[in-house]
Structure 1
Amino acid sequence: MKASRSGVSVEKLCRLQEISRSGYYAWLTRRQSQRAQHNQALTRELVYLHEKYPALGLDSLYHMLKANNSCSRGRVHRLMKAAGIHSMRKKAYKATTNSRHSHPIAPDLLKRQFSFEQPNQAWVGDITYIPTGEGWLYLAAVKDLCTKKVVGYAFSSRIDTQLTLSALDMAVRRERPGPGLIFHSDRGVQYAAEAFRDRLAALGIRQSMSRKGDPYDNAVAENFFSCLKCELVHLRRYDSRRAAQADIFAYIECHPSVL
């Protein structure tokens, strides 16, 4: 009479579990399913990537895994939860939106429609900040809602209307959009200022703004900045604005369609 690893006889164990001896031995020798083996491989890769890039979140890790593995975003999310993996983002904060002004507010023409069939039908713009040893570096970016590419951007040590105008001008030079394009942003003074409104009107671009206190109305622009900070800014320490600008320039030009 053979005993199991716990010292209990196989016959007794089978009787208690109401299974046959052949079923018990089949269970002992059964290999893990292909899915279980794949999950283990994905988890090992997730742990490696998390240790190497601790600031990366779900979306960034998913896209890195997807490049060489067959997996869904939901599957990666479940494996991350099971392994206790989560983004270790820094919490530096600098307000970039000042909507307390007397300038006119444009209506929301976009209404959370973030997909378009043709390029240069709708752009979104926003501003973010990057900490450096010399102080804040501000970045204004413009994204196309069809191609999801960053079509224009500008840097400055000052957060003013000239920053947003410079990003808009780059986008116009690159894309040469026709009249009727929608430009969507938050209600910040840099976009509501007369100089910015006049430039849009001269170009035949229709201005659109998010509703009050609703960041989801400009989610595409904000998500780009989130990816930028997770994949680059939070992994670096910049002594100067010039160093940060050079790094971010390379990131945008190499990854123009980061979602």
Structure 2
Amino acid sequence: MKYAWIDEHRDSYDLVSMCQMLDVSRSGYYRWKASTPSSTARRAEELDAEAKRIFEENHGVIGYRKVHEQLVAEGVVCCPETVRKSLRRQGLRAVRAARFVPSTTDSDHDLPVVENLLERNFTAGRPNEKWVSDITYIRTDEGWLYLAVVIDLFSRKVIGWAMADHLRTELV
């Protein structure tokens, strides 16, 4: 690890000074520089590259278990713990979604409230007798979308719908 740091900063600092500061010999550095990586080190580099590729293809939202699952599906032989260490070594951590707290109406106010005309009776005897609506929250990579739908209770068909990136009145 020390030799790799010395090699990385060789253009910026004097080799002798770095070796003295890190308490390593120059001959040890040159021996390290001339050596070829072990088969274990080469395998770790290959796994690092594959794990990083899969992680980035999935936009950084999957953890080591899913990365391991995809590696195994591609025929790479490894265990989950090795994948976890590989991702950690590279500083790759899955993005955790923030907890969803829906924006709902404030029921604690003095404004007039529309009375409940259906009283949980969701059956209709003929078309266009009863319409109901609902809003659904949809998480996307760009943020939240809100889908408002109006349904005829007789036919259960969608009468109309609207989608927006806000919950203002014009959505419904």
Q: TM-score, normalised by structure 2?
A: 0.41
Select the structure that is richer in helix.
Answer: 1
The two structures have a TM-score, normalised by structure 1, of: 0.29
